[in-house]
Each structure stands twice: as C-alpha cells, then as structure tokens.
Structure 1
C-alpha cells in the first residue's frame, strides 16, 4: 500500500520511501505479540494510520530544528510517520502504556529513525518545552490542552504559532466549545480523497 503514500507525497527520498515500506510488515509482526492496532484494522495500516498521521504534514510544514511532542503515541502514531517525513525535526513520543512505547521504540530502531525518542511517560510528568504537541484522539481536546499547555514553548520559529495539533473524527462542535476562538478545524478530505477521511479533521489550537 505504499502507493497511497507515494500518491500524496511525491518528494520522498529513497531512505524515507524505504522506511515507510518497512512500517507495514513491522507493525503486522509486532501486532501479533502486542495489540497496538485493532486486529481488524491492521490490513489498513497505510491508509488509516500512516497516511492519517501524515495529514498533519499537509497543513504544517515544520522547519528544520522544530521540537515536537507526540502525546499518547500508542504504538507510534502520528509521531513515527511524521519523524520519517521531517528528518531534521526532533520528536519525543510519550505514552502511559509501557508495552506500546516499547513497540514504537523497536520500530523506530528497526527502520533507523534517529529523530524519534519513544518514552514511557504520562503527559502530566512531561516537563520539556516544544513548538508543537501532536496527538491522535487520545482524549477530549480541552482536557488534553490543560495537561500540555505547560509544554508549549513561547519561542516561535514556524509559520504557524506554536500549539496543539490533534487528529480527530466525528462531530466536534460540543467538544471544542470550551476552547474559545483560537481553534481551527481543517477537514482531512481537503488533502486526501479516500472515503475513510470524510469525517476526519485536523484540530489546531494555539
């Protein structure tokens, strides 16, 4: 299913292409031992997980040297696909479930990904400062924002102001009400035409 990645990301280097190609077999292998992706969904790994993670890159072009925290990374999404795409940015991936972090760590090592550091840590315990915090529907955005706002650096170097970038699905109006005006909701279908992305959104809060 690398066709899907190539369809939307034509400028990949040989190394990036190779790293993306390795993700499918590696996740399938690990998923037999530790369930990081729903068993029913593992065959859709490129569309539902890798490409979905990369939707962020269609809206945000992180400058070299950008520091990014993946909050609640699970087995490594969206952090690992984004780290492949932005090799000169630094990614720290954290999750409270040690087994999932171990899978993310082993996969990063297996594909030679040196700019992604998966760590077994809860968001409340993370002390570092980052330009952006990324996440995939870990919890309601207002709750997540309370935890991670302490981690967002005041020093800006990207075109977008520093903030939280979340991949979410479904009806979001109620959930986002407490967030006030500084929230943008961008349909993933702006970038990807596959049916699965119809009700998927990038939610950006700054």
Structure 2
C-alpha cells in the first residue's frame, strides 16, 4: 500500500528514511498487537489510510512549511493527548523531524509499548511520555502553555477535547481537533465553548479519506488570551460535565 499512497493529497512526500520508518512502524504495531490490543488498524489501507493519512492530513500547513516552526531548526513542541497506540503522535514524529513530542495517555501498558516502538524507530530522544490524565497535564507547569501544537484523535467529544488541549497551548500555539462528521451546529457550539477557554475556533476543513474510509474534519483552536486557571477542571469532570455554550 505504501507504493500507492496518495501523497499528492498531502502536498508532501516522505523521504526514504521517513518511508522506511512508517513501514517499520507497521511491523512494530503487528508485534505489539500480539501482546496488547493497541489498534485494529494495522493492515493495508487500514494502516496507511486509517492511521498514517488520517493522522497527517490535518497537518498540511506544517508538512509543507507554510507555518513557521515546523521546518526550521528551532524546537517545535507538539503534544498528543490520548495517544493510545501512538497515533497521531508517532506519525507526526516521523513526518516532522524537528518536532519534540510529548505523548500523554493514562494507560501505562499502551504508553510503554509506544515508547518501545519510538525507541526502535530512532525517535526516543525526541519523545517524552506522560502516563497521566489530560486534566493533570493541563495543570502541570512543565506542560501548561508550553506547546506550539496540541492534537487529539478519537479521544472524546469536541467540548471535552477543547478543554484538554487549549490550556496546553503556548500563546502562538494551535490545537487541532480531529473529528468525523461535523455540522454548522457543532461549529457554532464550539465557537461559544472556545470563548470560555479564551480561544478562537477557526473554520473547519473537510476531506474524504481515500479507499472509502469516510469523511473527516479538523478544526483549529488558537488562544486569544491566557486560558483561565479554572480549566482544565478536575480529573473526570470535563467528560462528565462537558462545557456548553453560555445561556
């Protein structure tokens, strides 16, 4: 499948080392899946489209160098909240060689597997692993307000993900909300919720994944001021009581 990958849709193509790393990552996922239920998206288009393409397409401005920081020599910090089996974090680490990544997940065994895969891929020095809930990361001094890019894929409803990600953003940072279906009503609600977090919700971008893998959207969030210290709320509260538009 890697030979038929629709790189033109990304306006970016991996070099030989990056392609080899993506192929090796597939082998590593097969290995670890025998011990842990990391992901069902391991073979053929499930991996190349459902994992690699779906992880990278929202990052087109960074992949192409349209946004400064991604292709320059200075540190470019990324956090992947709820990384699970390592996506989109490991794919981003391969595609953006100058990125320093922090991968957050509350399931220790999965995070250990992701760390082992990262080491095998030669990414270990650029990755930091945090085994904790996202709410805790958002309050830690070493994480809060520190990242140029914050991402979360298949983690929780948009309001919950926004509360997880926005507190992690540096003043010039961007959060990317990976979503499936997305409506005008969803967007209007997110705009109001983002205001509570002192952030702005940008226009959603949509794509039909190749191989009939479904429609995807990405919505950027950018800070307009420091996120109120109220957020993120205590562990479990964002999921149990998601933020809603003010009446």
TM-score (norm 1): 0.84
Would you say 1:165 and 2:176 are equivalent positions? yes
In structure 1, the residue matched to 2:205 is 186
Hey, what's the Cα distance between the residues in 2 that align with 1:125 and 1:202? 25
Would you say 1:151 and 2:168 are equivalent positions? yes
In structure 1, the residue matched to 2:134 is 123
Structure 1 unmatched runs, 5+: 157-161
Hey, what's the Cα distance between the residues in 1 that align with 2:161 and 2:6? 33
Superposition RMSD in Å: 2.1
Q: How many angstroms does 1:193 deviate by? A: 4.1
Runs of 4+ in 1 over 6 A off after TM superposition: none
Q: 1:37 to 1:125 in 2, by over 3 A?
A: same
Hey, what's the Cα distance between the residues in 2 that align with 1:121 and 1:4? 38
Structure 2 unmatched runs, 5+: 64-69, 192-199, 223-247
In structure 1, the residue matched to 2:245 is none
Deviations 1:100-136 (A, max 9, x none): 1111111101111132223212111112111111110
Q: 1:174 to 1:6 in 2, by over 3 A?
A: closer
**Greater displacement, 2-11 / 81-90:** 2-11
Q: How many angstroms does 1:6 deviate by? A: 6.9
**Higher relative contact order (Cα pairs below 8 Å, separated by 6+ residues):** 1
- In terms of fraction of residues, the more helix-rich structure is 1
In structure 1, the residue matched to 2:232 is none
Contact 2:7 2:13 in 1 (8 A): no
Equivalence map 1:21-40=2 (5 Å): 21-38=23-40
